[in-house]
Amino acid sequence: MAKRILALMAACVVLMGLTWSRPKREPPPFAPVTGIYDLLPTNEIAAGEELANPNVAGVSARFRWNSIQPNKLRTYWAAIDNVIDSAKSYGKKTIILVIPGINTPNWVYSDGAQYVTFTYEGKNFKMPVPWDPIYLQKWCQFVTNLGKRYANNPDVISVQMAGVGKVGEMGIEVEGVDWTQYGYTDDVYISAWKTVIDTFRQAFPNKVTHLSIKEPFRGRTEALLGVLNYCLTTYPKKIHIQANDLRETGSDMSDYIRQAGEQTYTGYEMFGGREWLDAITGDRMSAFQAGLADGVVYMEVYQGDLQDPTLNDAVQFLAEGLAANAAKQP
C-alpha cells in the first residue's frame, strides 16, 4: 500500500508539473515549534495541571471565528489573550488557531458571501464557498488584524493557517454538496489557499505559521500537492507542515509528512484523546512511536491525555523523542 501511495504521488507531481525541490537545508529564520503542545477544547483555557508538567512545551488554542468576531464592528480578543496569559504564567508558549469554515460569522453572509448548507450527524451547518471573493476578503482582513495584535507577542510561537476548509484543515468534502457547481477546480482551490497563505505570512512575518494538510476530497492528491509545494518553495522554513490524524496505526498523511520533513519542521495532532475519539485513536504509546518514526519535532496532544496519570510514561517518552528529532535538525 505504501509503495502504491508513493507511486501515485510521483505520478501526480509529474502531471502537475510540480517537484519536491530539495535545497540545501538551512537553519530556520526564527524559533521553530518543538515539543508537546496541550491541545485545548475550542474556546477554552488550559486547566493548569497539565501545564505544570515539564514535558509540556505550551498550548495549542483553538477559537471559532464567530465567537471572536461575532459582528464586523468589534472583535473580542479577550479569549485569546486569556489563554496566552494562562500559558505564560507557567512559562509556556501558545499556538493560535482561529477556525472559519462552519464557524464563519453570519455577518459575512449578510455582506454577500456565497455559502452552502449541509447536514452532518443530524445537525445543520453553513459554510462559505472557500474561494468566494467576499468571503476571502473578510477572512484575510481578520487575519491581518490578528497579526497586528499578536505578530510581536513573544509568547505566541506559531499561528495555524486556516481558511480554505470546512474547519481548520484543508478538507472541504461534505455530503450533498457538489462543489463543481460552485466553481471548484484544483486551480481555483490552490489559488484560494495561496491568497490565504500569503496573507498569513504578511501578517506574521517574524513567526512560524503552519498548515494542517489534508486532501480537499479523497483522492484529490494534485490539489494537496499544489498547496504543499507552494508552502515549501515560496516560504522555505517559515511554514511548518502537520497532519491531524495520528493514531495507533499511524497517519494517512505519513508519506507527505516524511517528505515535507526533508525541507521544514513537521508535526502531528493526535486524532483524538480521552475526551474525543478515544477508542479509535487507540494505544497512545504506539501512536507516539509511529509519529516519532516519521521525524516530527512537535505534537499536539489532547488535554485529557496530558491529564491522565496512566499516560505519564508515554508522554515522557514522546517528549524525549521529539527533543531527539529536533536535535537532528540544522
pLDDT (0 to 100) of residue 26? 63
Spans of the chain, pLDDT less than 50? 1-23
pLDDT (0 to 100) of residue 290? 98
pLDDT (0 to 100) of residue 29? 81
Give the CA dihedral 76, 77, 80, 83, nearest 10 degrees.
-100
pLDDT (0 to 100) of residue 330? 80
Contacts of 10 (CB under 8 A, 6+ apart): none
Per residue in 113-136, pLDDT tens?
Answer: 999 999 887 889 999 999 999 999
Per residue in 268-307, pLDDT tens?
Answer: 999 999 999 999 999 999 999 999 999 999 999 999 999 9
Query: What b/e readout covers 213-245, taking b as 16+ CB neighbours within 10 angstroms?
Result: bbbbeeebbbbbbbbbbbbbeebbbbbbbbbbb
Question: In order of start, what are the domains of the chain with their CATH numbers?
Answer: 32-327 (3.20.20.80)
